[in-house]
Amino acid sequence: MLIQVKNLSKVYQDDGVATTALNRVSFSIEEGEFVAITGPSGSGKSTLLHVLGFLDRHTSGEYLFESKNSAEYSEKELAQIRNKKMGFIFQAFNLLPRTSVLENVKLPLLYSDMPRAQWDNLSKKAIEAVGLSHRLEYEPAQLSGGEKQRVAIARALVNDPKIIFADEPTGNLDSKSGKTVMEILQKLNLEQNRTILLITHETYTAEHAQRIIHIVDGEIDSDRAVENWHKAEDGFKK
């Protein structure tokens, strides 16, 4: 089991006032799954992603990553796991503005133990996977929104992570670009067996996943398989 959470809660304290963002959430994700977390604004979706991605600590309950309790990891170990085993894609792209596509994708390798001699090849392979080999030397200002997000996906791939966390990856895109991004994520799941956890408020986007967990007020409202989801001949869901 890649991810398992048991009665997971997250409570924020602000001037003595407690706000519960997650309330006793329990579920598991197997390696190779494509899971979407949905729910209205303020439901706890992004908080859950931050906890699962070791960007924040939970308040109570258990979070096991690769069968090891996250409470047993030091901060240094958590940082190493984030770099080596997790890839992140955010709505705002988070690309360095005056830096080429190739150099943006290389960024996670700066903090890895990968030999520098391999950085170019690894980055170019990741860029090829998202169909942007013809944009290697372009800077973000020269790219469309959809292309920027594809660069962000390549950057998330470059360290060959166990899981990709995608937080509203189509939120800043038009419908056509959003569809392209989701097809790339689905293809990575189907053809490379990448585990993907998607955060989205869009029903159409969520249905690219195999499974949808719906959260309301910090609690799981439903956890269901997507009907008619299958491995189509061309690698995409029909």
pLDDT tens, per residue, the chain with 238 residues: 999 999 999 999 988 899 999 999 999 999 999 999 999 999 999 999 999 999 999 999 999 999 999 999 999 999 999 999 999 999 999 999 999 999 999 999 998 889 999 999 999 999 999 999 999 999 999 999 999 999 999 999 999 999 999 999 999 999 999 999 999 999 999 999 999 999 999 888 999 999 999 999 999 999 999 987 654 434 444 3
Decide: 84 and 159 in contact? Cβ < 8 Å: yes
- Region of residue 108 (phi > 0: left; psi between -120 and 50: alpha; otherwise: beta): alpha
Please give the pLDDT value at position 204.
86
Please give the pLDDT value at position 15.
87
Six-digit token string for 10: 């997250």
Q: What are phi and psi of 165, to 5 degrees?
A: -100, 120
| Cβ-proximal residues to 57 (8 Å cutoff; 6+ apart), any chain | 51
Kindly tell me the burial class for residue 176, based on how many C-beta atoms sit within 10 Å of its own C-beta (0-12, 13-18, 19 or more): exposed
Side by side, which strands form the sheet with 34-38?
A: 86-90, 163-167, 195-199, 34-38, 211-216, 219-225
Q: Which residues pair with 238 in a beta bridge?
A: none
DSSP string, 135-193: GTT--GGGS-HHHHHHHHHHHHHTT--SEEEEESTTTTS-HHHHHHHHHHHHHHHHHH-
Q: Which residues pair with 216 in a beta bridge?
A: 219
Global pTM value: 0.92
Please give the pLDDT value at position 229.
67
| Cβ-proximal residues to 160 (8 Å cutoff; 6+ apart), any chain | none
Please give the pLDDT value at position 16.
85
Bridge-based pairing of strands 86-90 and 3-14 is unpaired
